[in-house]
Amino acid sequence: MSRRRRAVSGVLTALVLLGAAAVLAHGPILRSVGRALVVEDPLGRADAIVVVAGGTPSREAAAAALFREGWAPRIILSNQFTPERVRELIALGIRRVDLQGEARLALEKHGVPAAAIVALGEPVRITETELRLVRETAQARGYRRVILVTSPLHTRRVRLIWAREARGQIEGLVVGARRGEEFAVDGWWRHRRMAEGVLHEYLGLLAIYLGVSGWFT
């Protein structure tokens, strides 16, 4: 069986298992399924705070709060790939800025000076590519520790990807943005959007282990 076919088989198996869990399992098991995706590291002073792409403006607000509290002197901002439809709106003058521009404006609105924002230039589509670029930037600048801000539901996968990318050379503290990206461990399976998010994260973790992680953002 080819690698791609094994990956597809694994994804389908995960879909079946999660679907069966939703039907047959009771609350405590489903709570554990959701809780396993959410991790948080104790805060420590770092060289930079990283806003993992997506979730604007909640992640920018959380990163700005950490900046104002003095946990790091700068914020690294990824260049999230801007879809063609958004670029067309910008060209028509209907939108002012692209996704990175919006994130930058959100940071500045929350009190982060422009001089403290490190905006990465290469557009990224998936978390693996994004954190690889962050790691390369951090290494080039001599950083030893960064704080990674993402949604609570995304924290487990971000921690795993960073551990694989950094290989222990740069410490990464993972923090979930609470306001605007809430995740209800109790009862997530009753909300379609949260249930889709849980499924997406588990499929993303499975894809990482299968070596086909580029399929998931």
Residue 133 pLDDT = 96
Q: At what angle do helices 127-141 and 155-166 cross, to 10 degrees?
A: 50
Residue 83 pLDDT = 78
Do 112 and 75 form a contact (C-beta atoms < 8 A)? yes
Do 200 and 193 form a contact (C-beta atoms < 8 A)? no
Report the top-level CATH class of 48-176. Answer: alpha beta
Rounded CA gap, 78 and 54, in Å?
10
Residue 178 pLDDT = 82
Do 145 and 173 form a contact (C-beta atoms < 8 A)? yes
Residue 191 pLDDT = 86
The tens-digit pLDDT sequence of the chain (217 residues) is 556 556 555 555 665 566 555 555 567 888 888 999 999 999 999 999 999 998 899 999 999 999 999 999 999 999 988 778 877 877 877 777 788 989 999 999 999 999 999 999 999 989 999 999 999 999 999 999 999 999 999 999 999 999 999 999 999 999 999 887 888 888 888 888 888 899 889 988 988 888 776 666 7
Residue 26 pLDDT = 64
| pTM, entire model | 0.84
Rounded CA gap, 139 and 143, in Å?
6
What phi-psi label fits residue 25: left (phi over 0), alpha (psi between -120 and 50 degrees) or beta? beta
Residue 214 pLDDT = 64
Please give the single-letter amino acid code of residue 156. Answer: R
Domain boundaries, the chain: 3-36+184-215, 48-176
Residue 95 pLDDT = 79
22's CB contacts (< 8 A; 6+ apart) are 30, 189, 195
3-state secondary structure the chain: CCHHHHHHHHHHHHHHHHHHHHHHCCHHHHHHHHHCCCCCCCCCCCCEEEECCCCCCHHHHHHHHHHHCCCCCCEEEEEECCCHHHHHHHHCCCCCCCHHHHHHHHHHHCCCCHHHEEEEEEEECCHHHHHHHHHHHHHHHCCCEEEEEECHHHHHHHHHHHHHHHCCCCEEEEEECCCCCCCCCCCHHHCHHHHHHHHHHHHHHHHHHHCCHHHCC
